[in-house]
Amino acid sequence: MCQAHGRDTLQRVARQCATYSEVVAVDVLAPAQTPSSRWTVEIVVEGKSVPPRVLAAVAVADVTLDVGASGTRGEPMHAVVVGHLG
């Protein structure tokens, strides 16, 4: 996949996910900004799990998915969805 197409794909995912109420933050990172050296979209969601529509947006774009979670007792959980192309 060419660089421009990868960037455009992840920007489309980011724009779509940014409209969801559960999404706290979205960012598209260039390969030079990530340890993986690949285009990456980071999506932070609030809740106990990643909403199906966020997973669907990532899946439709054919993006590799890594999910991590953070939070403390009594605080909302934030799941970080990281999608990679390349």
pLDDT band at 21; cut points 50, 70, 90: very high
Q: What is the per-residue pLDDT for 25?
A: 87
C-alpha distances in angstroms, 6 versus 1, 15, 31, 65, 85? Answer: 6, 14, 10, 15, 6
Instruction: Judge residue 24's burial from the number of C-beta atoms within 10 Å of its C-beta, 0-12 exposed, 13-18 middle, 19 or more buried.
Output: middle
pLDDT in tens, 22-43: 898 898 988 888 887 888 888 8
Backbone angles phi, psi at 83, to 5 degrees: -105, 135
Helix (H, G, I), strand (E, B) or coil at 23: strand
Q: What is the pLDDT of residues 44-82, one digit of tens each?
A: 888 777 889 988 998 888 877 777 766 666 565 566 666
Pick among 3.40.1130, 3.30.70, 3.30.1240, 3.40.50: CATH of 3-85: 3.30.70
- pTM of the shown model: 0.78
